[in-house]
Amino acid sequence: MAKLIIFNFKMAPASLIEAREIFEIFNKFSKKIKSNKLVVAPPSVYLSEAKEKIGDKCFLGAQNVFWFNRYSMTGEISPKMLKSLKAQYVIIGHSERREYLKETDAMVNAKIKACLKDNLKPVLCVGEKERRDKDSASSISVKKILFEQLNHALQGLQIKKPSDLIIAYEPVWAIGSGKPQDLKEVEKIIALIRFWVARRFSEKLAKNLPIIYGGSINAQNILSFLDLKEGAGVLVGGASTNKNELIKILKKL
Ligand code: 13P
């Protein structure tokens, strides 16, 4: 089955020249990729360059969006601006934005609504901050954290088609730590999220909604995460802008 691989560049690389080199890598190595779907989400200042350079096998994503198409909002980027650059995906509610920019659940909810209104696909990030023993999936507090995040983020929303939304399970402790969540736990937590989706929306949506995993994905472990039965793909952070690691990843897909 085709899997979704989203590359979140975060705030890297530091220059347009380096960004171009990375886009060329995507262009070159994505040509042979048949079934998997690649989404490149660079910093917004590089989006238009990415659109020109990543090639037609890769799709474009943004790392943030404002929740209105209004004029008076210094420094922000509107859904319509992203649409005009042919971006299709937007990462929303990443733990780094929640923590350092104080992005609240209400903001996350408003951003998802804005995306759906303008036909952008939100990639909603959820995940617990601390590692709970080994079996996170049976931890009541992990379940509570995830369900609360989902409840708030999707409050008042009707998700009709599985292609309208992507949920990314990103345990915060696994991000940038070199220690990904255990594969079996990821499988169980994705199943837990599907259970929530079935209760809140429908069984049918729960079965088909793409739910992906993010946190310390690299060339060595990516295939095992892509093989997960319950999982629809991965969200890659650091490895997206590390040229050697990126080439190794793209060669494996
Ligand atoms: P790392 O792959 O660097 O752990 O980052 C994951 C992430 O935050 C992707 O959104």
- Stated pTM of the model: 0.97
Mean pLDDT computed over 76-102: 97
**Ligand 1 pocket, residue 124 CB under 6 Å:** no
* Alpha-carbon distance values, 105 to 97, 112, 155, 173 (Å): 11, 11, 10, 20
- Whole-angstrom Cα distance, residue 196 to residue 180? 23
Domains and CATH numbers, the chain: 3-252 (3.20.20.70)
Mean pLDDT computed over 66-76: 91
Mutate to test the pocket of ligand 1, among 92, 128, 175 (most ligand atoms within 8 A of CB): 175
CB 118 within 8 Å of CB 79: yes
DSSP class per residue in 131-197: --SS-GGG-HHHHHHHHHHHHHHTTT----SGGG-EEEE--GGGTTSS-PPPHHHHHHHHHHHHHHH
* Rg of the chain taking only CA atoms, in angstroms: 17
Please, what is the average pLDDT of the chain?
95
CB 134 within 8 Å of CB 176: no
**Confidence at residue 196, expressed as pLDDT on a 0 to 100 scale:** 97
Residue of 170, 185, 187, 245 with catalytic role: 170
**Ligand 1 pocket, residue 99 CB under 6 Å:** no
pLDDT in tens, 18-64: 999 999 999 999 998 988 999 999 999 999 999 999 999 999 999 99
Mutate to test the pocket of ligand 1, among 236, 242, 248 (most ligand atoms within 8 A of CB): 236
152 is catalytic: no
Q: How many helices (H) and strands (E) does the chain have?
A: 10, 8
- Work out the angle between the directed axes of helices 243-252 and 16-30 (0-180°, nearest 10): 20
Q: Residue 151: what residue type?
A: N
pLDDT in tens, 192-244: 999 999 999 999 999 999 999 999 999 999 999 999 999 999 999 999 999 99
Rounded to the nearest angstrom, the distance between the alpha carbon of 194 and the centre of ligand 1 is 22
pLDDT over 70 (residue 133): no
CB 225 within 8 Å of CB 234: yes
Closest ligand 1 atom, residue 174 Cα:
4
Residue 213 backbone phi and psi in degrees, to 5 = -115, 140
Rounded to the nearest angstrom, the distance between the alpha carbon of 183 and the centre of ligand 1 is 16
